[in-house]
Amino acid sequence: MMLPYDYTWMFGVTMVVAFADAYGIGANDVANSFATSVASGSLTLAQACIVACFTEFLGAFLLGANTADTIKGGILSVSRFADTPELLMLAMTCAICGSAAWVLFATSRGWPVSTTHSIVGAVLGVGIAAFGGNSINWGWKGVGQIICSWFLSPVMAGIISAIIYSITKYGILRQKDSVKWALRIIPAYFFFTTAIEAFYLIYKGAPGTSAAKMSVGVIVGIAFGIGGVFALFAIFFFCPWLKRRVVDREELKWYHIFVIPFVSYRAPKEIPAETRETISSSSSGKEYPTDIKDAEGGVVQTNETADLEPKKVSLKDKILNVLLRGIRKDVRNLENENVKSVHAAAEIYDSDVEYMFSFLQVITACMASFAHGSNDVSNAVGPLSSVFEIWKTAQVDLTNKVPVPLWILAYGGVAIDIGLATFGYKIIRVLGNNITLFTPTRGFSAELGAALTVLTCTKLGLPVSTTHCITGATAAVGLCNGKLSAVNWKMLAWCFSSWILTLPVAGTIAGLMFSFAAYAPALVK
**pLDDT tops 60 at residue 303:** no
Residue type at 342? V
Confidence at residue 161, expressed as pLDDT on a 0 to 100 scale = 94
Helix (H) or strand (E) holding 69: strand 67-69
**pLDDT tops 60 at residue 206:** no
Please write the tens of the pLDDT for every residue from 481-514: 999 999 999 889 988 899 899 999 999 999 999 9
Please write the tens of the pLDDT for every residue from 28-47: 887 778 888 888 888 888 88
Please, which pLDDT band fits residue 341 given cuts at 50, 70 and 90?
confident
Rg (C-alpha) for the chain, rounded Å, is 24
Residue 137 Cα distances to 66, 85, 142, 146, 328, angstroms: 26, 21, 5, 12, 45
Residue type at 148? C
**pLDDT tops 70 at residue 476:** yes
Q: Which residues of 347-378 are buried (b: 16+ CB within 10 A; e: fewer)?
A: bbbbbbbbbbbbbbbbbbbbbbbbbbbbbbbb
CA proximity to 22, closest of 114, 103, 117:
103
Which of 145-154, 224-233, 284-293, 439-448 has the weakest average pLDDT?
284-293
Give the pTM. 0.82
Q: 8 φ, ψ to 5°?
A: -60, -35
If you ran DSSP here, which 8-state letter would residue 263 be given?
Answer: P
Confidence at residue 318, expressed as pLDDT on a 0 to 100 scale = 66
Distance between alpha carbon 459 and the CA centroid of its chain, in Å?
21
Strand segments, DSSP code E, in 276-392 are 292-293, 299-300
Query: Domain residue spans in the chain?
Result: 8-174+264-515
Residue 456 Cα distances to 167, 344, 360, 424, 466, angstroms: 20, 34, 21, 28, 12
Q: Give 137's contacts (C-beta < 8 A, 6+ positions apart).
A: 74, 75, 76, 143
Mean pLDDT of 289-297: 38
CA proximity to 290, closest of 298, 299, 279:
299
Contact yes or no for 268/248 (Cβ under 8 A): yes
Contact yes or no for 507/121 (Cβ under 8 A): yes
If you ran DSSP here, which 8-state letter would residue 268 be given?
Answer: B
If you ran DSSP here, which 8-state letter would residue 135 be given?
Answer: G
Strands 401-403 and 299-300: unpaired
Q: Does 376 or 243 have the greater pLDDT score?
A: 243
Q: Give 397's contacts (C-beta < 8 A, 6+ positions apart).
A: 70, 78, 389
Confidence at residue 196, expressed as pLDDT on a 0 to 100 scale = 84
Give one word for 505, left, alpha or beta, with left for phi > 0 and alpha for psi -120 to 50: alpha
> Average pLDDT, whole number, for the chain?
81
Long-range Cβ pairs for the range 5-11 (8 Å, 24+): 5/391, 5/392, 6/86, 6/391, 6/394, 7/86, 7/89, 7/391, 8/391, 10/86, 10/89, 10/90, 10/93, 10/387, 10/391, 11/89, 11/387, 11/388, 11/391
Please write the tens of the pLDDT for every residue from 49-90: 888 888 877 777 666 665 566 566 567 888 888 888 999 999
Contact yes or no for 492/470 (Cβ under 8 A): no
For the residues of 190-218, what is the DSSP string, one character each?
Answer: HHHHHHHHHHHHHHHS-TTSGGGGS-HHH
Confidence at residue 405, expressed as pLDDT on a 0 to 100 scale = 83
Give one word for 200, left, alpha or beta, with left for phi > 0 and alpha for psi -120 to 50: alpha
Which range is most confident: 58-62, 169-173, 294-298? Answer: 169-173
For the residues of 468-510, what is the DSSP string, one character each?
Answer: HHHHHHHHHHHHTTS-GGGS-HHHHHHHHHHHHHHHHHHHHHH
Confidence at residue 36, expressed as pLDDT on a 0 to 100 scale = 85
